[in-house]
Amino acid sequence: MAKRRPSSGRWLREHHTDPFVLRARREGYRSRAAFKLLEIASYPFGGTPGRLLGPGMTVVDLGSAPGGWSQVAAEMVGGQGRVVAMDLLAMPPLEGVIFIQGDFLGEVGLRSLGEAIQPRRTVDVVLSDMAPNMTGIALADQTRGESLAEAAHEFACQTLELGGTLVVKLFHGPGFHETVRRARMDFTRVKVIKPQASRDRSAEQYLVGVGFRGVSSS
């Protein structure tokens, strides 16, 4: 997650009164981000609400620390399912989650992820909430965010089962429309969502692609 200076008074004040932060504490989630995935997963894709993450599924969670999305995914896939999570940062253990600390953009990280998914070679859902450390320089931040989203899309196209799902964080920037266009080629249904827990001032949105077609545009 982006580092905050301790002197960032406005952020601290907002953080301690933020309804999603308070709810996360009450409900035992490690981050307010958990509510973004809970909302995304409750959308009626394909006509039936709550089918995005279900019992027995294998899920990859990219950019997982501190673990809110992994907690939600592990709850939803249950004991018969599997969650494989990866982050540059350390993440304390979570039941039902295999965690790999590594760089998703690096060869070693990708190889470890592939090994953790085995013996299956494919997964049902790829989640990516990856975000670069923000510099405050809008164009640079957008470009780095776009690279992460593009890499997650590519990984999904190589790893998803036919009919599988991708949820990926996007930053609204110059490459946004092209990313959505490409996703429409790879998935039968594509929706862009700004969950309520996503702060208004954040340029982030989430692309959800369901029904992986199995033929990559990349």
Chain residues binding ligand SAM by CB under 6 A are 1, 30-31, 33-34, 63-69, 86-89, 103-105, 129-132, 148
Closest to ligand SAM by CB, 98 or 185? 98
Active site amino acids: 169
What is the smallest separation between the CB atom of 163 and ligand SAM, expressed in angstroms? 24
**Residue bearing tokens 């932060």:** 21
Q: How far is the CB of 85 from ligand SAM (least distance, A)?
A: 9
Kindly tell me which of 31 and 165 has the beta carbon lying closer to ligand SAM. 31
In the complex with ligand SAM, the residue whose CB is nearer, 185 or 192, is 192
In sign, the C-alpha dihedral spanning 145, 150, 152, 153 is positive
Which residues are CB-neighbours of 61 under 8 A, at least 6 positions away? 69, 70, 73, 83, 84, 85, 86, 97, 127, 129
Specify the residue, 132 or 211, whose C-beta has the smaller distance to ligand SAM: 132
Query: Smallest distance from the beta carbon of 212 to ligand SAM, in angstroms?
Result: 21
Comparison of 110 and 192: residue with beta carbon closer to ligand SAM: 110
- d(Cα 166, Cα 50) in Å, to the nearest integer? 15
- Which residues, at least 6 apart from 170, have a Cβ–Cβ distance to it below 8 Å? 145, 146, 149, 176, 179, 180, 192, 204, 205, 206, 207
Buried b (16+ CB within 10 A) or exposed e, 58-92: bbbbbbbbbbbbbbbbbbbbeeebbbbbbbeeebe
Sign of CA dihedral 14, 19, 25, 30: negative
For residue 32, the minimal CB distance to ligand SAM (Å) is 8
Dist. CA 159–CA 124, nearest whole Å: 9
In angstroms, give the least distance from the CB of 31 to ligand SAM. Answer: 4
